[in-house]
Every structure is written in structure tokens, then in C-alpha cells.
Structure 1
Amino acid sequence: MNPEIISWLLEGDPSIRWQVQRDLLHASPKKYEAEQKRIAKEGWGARLLALQDPSGTWAGGLYGPKWISTTYTMLTLRLLGLSPNHPQAKRACKIFLDEGYYTDGGINFFSYSWKYSETCVTSMILALLTYFRSPDKRIHDIASYVIGEQMPDGGWNCESRKGATHSSFHTTISALEGLFEYECLFPEKKKIVGKVRARGHEFLLMHRLYKSHRTGKVFDAKMTTMPFPPRWKYDFIRALDYFRSCDAPRDERMSDAIELLKSKQKKDGTWPMNSGMSGLKYFDLEKAGQPSRWNTLRAIRILNWWDKK
């Protein structure tokens, strides 16, 4: 690792610093957890927490308006690494359940127009409830709903109830992230959930993480960019970072994505932010076209994981 790059990363937001200390410098938990606590007090995390409504939501809504609602703000706070026990996050989790838990065991924020839970939303909420350690037992129903929505090809698609027969990259990565967080919180579920996740891994690997399994061509050029935060959308570095986070077996079918990641590194050793945050936003985390601490951090830790023996 380039010491100058590490120093540059450590000049960033607390959400960057604590993950550099944990993932790149392998600091003691005491050290990086102390840095992690600063997320709620300064920088991006503190700014987002300050925007929470008196009612406990953000922008007055659970899922909309995109991209400043409670769901998307909480997803960003999870990626920043806000403490899992933070009271403001726990308050939002309770609202998700009180307002969104549906009769089929999933999450439905749109019951006025949908008669079943939406798989992408349910998966994202599962990730939030488990990361922020909600004590509510309905978490198990929500996890069961996601598991039950897995398709024959191993992935997930929120359009399956409308007739879709092939899984979606977008839905699949949200389902995998949610189930992994669930498995981490409830390790006794590992045997069952691990098998489900392994089938989901195979779906992504069959597509070499971003290609058509029929033609071998890039499925969607947007999947080869590196936005942050990803919101509900899939991209190749999000998939690689997921595989790294759960220390999945390194598979040759990931190699195209690894080479793509390497090709995006600039001469100065950093990775750029390809595209900025579109639509409604509270503020930019980083600017498009500029060196990105987020992407540099993610790229280095992915490559370290890939190269380890």
C-alpha cells in the first residue's frame, strides 16, 4: 500500500478513516471503534443525523421522496458505518416495522397500490434492521420472505410476481446484502441462509458479475461505473465489496471484474468517482470526476482480499 495514499485517505471523513483503520491498517478494535463513534458527531454522518425529522423520518417519508427519504438516508448511514446501536437509527427502524410490515411477512410501503411486499425494499430494510440490531422478532419473518422470493436461477427479481422469469442484478445484490447482515446478527441461521446465499452467488458468478450469460457482453454499461452511494442500483464494485465483506471463496469468474477495477486506477494511485449523486440530495459526499476516497478505499481492500493467499 502506498503510504501517501493511506495518508490521503486518513485526511477524509470519519466514515472513511475508521474503515481504513479496520480494513487496511488492521488497527485494534479499540482504535477504529473510537474513530467510528465520531461519525455521529462530525462530518457526513452528523450532517445526515441532524436532518432527521421530529417524527423520526427523513424528508417526511419512508421510501419517497427519492433519494432523501428515510430508507435511502439510512442506507447511506449504514455504509458510512454509523454505530449499530445509535438511537436515531433505532427509532427509524421501529418506524419501518410499524408502518411497513405487511401481512405476507415482508415490507410494503405501498399497500394502497401493491397487494404484496416489494422484494428490493424488503431486502434493503432487512439489511438496515439487522445492521442496526433491531430487537423486533418480525425480522425473522422478513428474512423468510426474502428467502422465499428466491428464483429458480438463484437470484431475485422484484418483478417476479408480474411474470419476470430471470433474476435482476439489482434485486439480487440487495437480497444478498440483507441476508448476510441477518446471518451476522443470527449466526445460528448460517446453515440455512448460507445455502440460499450460495445460490445467489452462483447467479452473479454465472454472469461474471456484470455480463450477459448468453452473449458474454456487458449487460449494462452503468454497472461498470463506481457511484457512491449505490442506493438500490447494482454495479460491479458493489458486488466485489460484498464478496469481500463475507470473505467468499475467490472464484475465477470474478477475474473480469477485478481486471476492470484495476483498469480504473489512475496514475496517482487513486480511483475516481465516475458519476455523482443524481436527483434529490442533501449534499454531495464526493464530486464526480475527482479522486474518490470511497472508491480508493473500496478498491484497495477488494484487491487486498483478492490477492491474499
Structure 2
Amino acid sequence: MPTWRELIHGDPLTWLLEVDDINPAVRYLALRDIVGLPEKSPDLVDAKSEAYSIGPIPRILAAQNPKGYWVKPGGGYNPKYTGTVWSLTLLAQMGADKSEPRVKTAAEYVLKNTISPTGWFSYNGMPSGFIHCHAGYLGDAMFSLGFGDDSRVTNAVEMQARLVTGRGIAAMGSQDPLRYYHYTAGPNFICGKLPCAWGAVKALKAISSVPEPQRTQTMSSAIEKGKDLFLSTDLTKCRFTNLEKGKPSSNWFKFGFPNYYIGDLLEILEVMARLGDGRDLRLEQAWKMVLEKQDSQGRWPLEYSYNGKMWADIEIKDEPSKWVTLRALRALKAAFPG
């Protein structure tokens, strides 16, 4: 079985480790996740400090209200993609965490305003506002930000797992507040008439962020349902994504950064590798597609972009992307160590 280094072309890690005044957070995360430097390593500490000093992270934080929100108070879903939830999620994906006081304030604000009375994450703070994709990327972000031991977060993830499995959740139309609502009408990642792959991968990201010894039986059952969904078919031909004229959404095959509610095939492989299933033979075609996207220097392009919509643009669409390359290397290293 080849190792991740044998599967990539050239030496993209050297590229990721270059001093970069535009996207310095890439270097920090490459040192942490690919090189594997310990948290207190002077080089890692310096790289993290650099990421907070220049580039997108300080620009995003500069736009924050001192109370913790962006643009306007409340649940933070609107406006896309500069509202509170989007801004905090982007910070998390760039390696920011609660050691920065403004990030901690933002996370506390989100926890106060997006967890519904039923305990799950909600785009509007009400029980009816649960959506798997939104709850999933927000739950995953909270773990990245350093809130994984916060009972509000672990309970929200547990509630998401219950919505996946149906455990203790009443049918839509019931008077029980712990019920399915319009956006999530039933178990098994249902959104509309079909399971939603975008919602499923976000849910798996959040649930798999919980360390295995701390996962409840419901969390483990939800993970198995997600794995069953993604291993049940060739991911390069699957029909449970948002369909375009009967075919998988073209966005499914466009790798990008950041990852909000729109999912891509690489994101599924990232999660499956995290769960220890990255080498499953049923993922062979998906890995083949991923590897075919790298150029001769082992770099992946930015195929899906939110530029012009966020507080800061991220690289150039269709050009080699350090962020997408970092995503690919992380997934490959987890699936094919050595």
C-alpha cells in the first residue's frame, strides 16, 4: 500500500511552508498538521502569531463588533457570508482558536445565540431552524476553536446525532418540541425527498470531532449511518447530492476553501480518513479523482471560491491553491500514513 508521500507529485509541502504574507495561516497549519510540530514548538508559535498579524484573520477580526458578532446581532446566519456564523467558521478553518480573546468572545456569542431551547444548533435560534449542514460545520468549528469540552457543544452534537438516528425524536407534526421540523423532516440526513450528502458530511465532521472514547452510543450509530451512506455507492457517480438534470451537482467535484454548507468529494474523504476508513476499497474511485486533480508539482487548484462575498478573498479561483492542497495532504496523510 503506497504512503501519502508516494501518491503526490513533486514536493508541495515545501510550497506550503514558504513564508507567505497573503495566507500565513497555511504555513501554521501545515507545520501543525503535516509536519506535526508540537503545540509549544517555537516555530509553530511564531507561525501562529504571524497568522494573527497579517492576512485574512486580522481583517476578519477587524470587522467584528466588540460584543462578538459581525454585521448585526442575533443568530448570525445572515448576511451570507459576512455574518457571525460564517465569519467564525472561516476563522476556525484558518486555525484561529479561543486563545485569541476576540475569537473566544465570538464563539461565546454564537453559543448563546444559535443553540435552540432543544439543545441543537439552529440558524435562527429556534427548534425549527435546525439544518444538518449548518449545525455540522458549526459543531466542527467549535471543536477547532477549542470548545470541544464545553457541555453546550457536546450536547448540541449529541442532539444532531439523535436527529440522524431518530432516537428520542418525535415525528414532524407532533406537539413535542423534540421533533423533526421542515428543514430536517426525518432521520438519515433527509432534506426533502433524498438524503443530503452536503448535510451528511457536515454532520459527520461534527460528530467525529468528539474523541472516540467520549462518543455516546447515539453518536457512534449516527457515524455508522453516515459511513453506510457514503460507502454505498461510487462517490464519483452518486445521486444523493443536489442533482442537476439528474446528475450529481457539479459543485460536488469542485474543491474549494472555505467549506461552508456546500460539500465536495474531498471533504467526504477527509472525514472518512479521520474515522479510520480512508483506505476502504469502496473509496478507490474517489481517491483516483482527487489524485488526478493535482498538477505536476503536487498542487491542487481552487475550483470553488467565495471570493467577493467574505471579509477577505482567498487566493485566485482556478489557480494552484495552498488551502486546497493542505486539505488534500491532510486527508492523504490520514488515510495513507507513512
TM-score (normalizing by structure 2) = 0.77
Aligned mates of 1:109, 1:138 — CA distance in 2? 16
Kindly state the Cα deviation for residue 286 of structure 1 after the two structures are TM-superposed. Answer: 0.8
Kindly state the Cα deviation for residue 285 of structure 1 after the two structures are TM-superposed. Answer: 1.1
Is 1:10 the counterpart of 2:21? The answer is no
Q: Please tell me the residue identity of whatever aligns with 1:36.
A: K
Kindly state the Cα deviation for residue 108 of structure 1 after the two structures are TM-superposed. Answer: 2.9
1:208-219 equivalences under 5 Å are 208-212=234-238, 219=248
Kindly state the Cα deviation for residue 137 of structure 1 after the two structures are TM-superposed. Answer: 3.0
2:297 to 268, 293, 304: 268
Is 1:193 the counterpart of 2:182? The answer is no
Q: Please tell me the residue identity of whatever aligns with 2:183.
A: E
Aligned mates of 1:308, 1:125 — CA distance in 2? 28
Conserved? CA contact 2:120–2:135, under 8 Å: yes
Is 1:228 the counterpart of 2:252? The answer is no
2:139 to 101, 116, 126: 126
Which aligned runs of 4 or more in structure 1 are off by greater than 4 angstroms?
A: 1-4
Change (3 A) 1:23 1:226: same
Change (3 A) 1:180 1:33: farther
Aligned mates of 1:138, 1:160 — CA distance in 2? 21
1:53 to 59, 65, 76: 65
Identity, in percent, stands at 21
Kindly state the Cα deviation for residue 201 of structure 1 after the two structures are TM-superposed. Answer: 1.6
**What SS does the corresponding residue of 2:64 show, helix, strand or coil?**
coil
Larger helix fraction of residues: 1
**What SS does the corresponding residue of 2:256 show, helix, strand or coil?**
coil
Q: 1:177 is matched with which residue?
A: 205
Kindly state the Cα deviation for residue 219 of structure 1 after the two structures are TM-superposed. Answer: 2.0
Number of paired residues? 301
Conserved? CA contact 2:16–2:326, under 8 Å: yes
Kindly state the Cα deviation for residue 48 of structure 1 after the two structures are TM-superposed. Answer: 1.4
Is 1:204 the counterpart of 2:240? The answer is no
Consecutive unaligned residues of structure 2, counting only runs of 5 or more, are 167-179, 241-245
Q: Please tell me the residue identity of whatever aligns with 1:160.
A: T
Aligned mates of 1:305, 1:108 — CA distance in 2? 31
Aligned mates of 1:148, 1:292 — CA distance in 2? 37
Is 1:44 the counterpart of 2:56? The answer is yes
Consecutive unaligned residues of structure 1, counting only runs of 5 or more, are none
Q: Please tell me the residue identity of whatever aligns with 2:228.
A: E
Change (3 A) 1:6 1:279: closer
- 1:75-103 per-residue CA deviation (whole Å, 9 max, x = no partner) reads 11111111343322221222223222222
Q: Please tell me the residue identity of whatever aligns with 2:234.
A: R
Q: Please tell me the residue identity of whatever aligns with 1:132.
A: L
**What SS does the corresponding residue of 1:199 show, helix, strand or coil?**
helix
Is 1:99 the counterpart of 2:113? The answer is yes
**What SS does the corresponding residue of 2:194 show, helix, strand or coil?**
coil
Change (3 A) 1:26 1:179: same
Kindly state the Cα deviation for residue 241 of structure 1 after the two structures are TM-superposed. Answer: 1.9
Higher relative contact order (CA 8 A, sep 6+): 2
Q: Please tell me the residue identity of whatever aligns with 2:121.
A: I
Conserved? CA contact 1:208–1:253, under 8 Å: yes
Kindly state the Cα deviation for residue 151 of structure 1 after the two structures are TM-superposed. Answer: 5.2
Is 1:147 the counterpart of 2:147? The answer is no
Change (3 A) 1:106 1:27: closer
Aligned mates of 2:140, 2:163 — CA distance in 1? 16
- 1:145-172 per-residue CA deviation (whole Å, 9 max, x = no partner) reads 20121158xxx99833287353101111
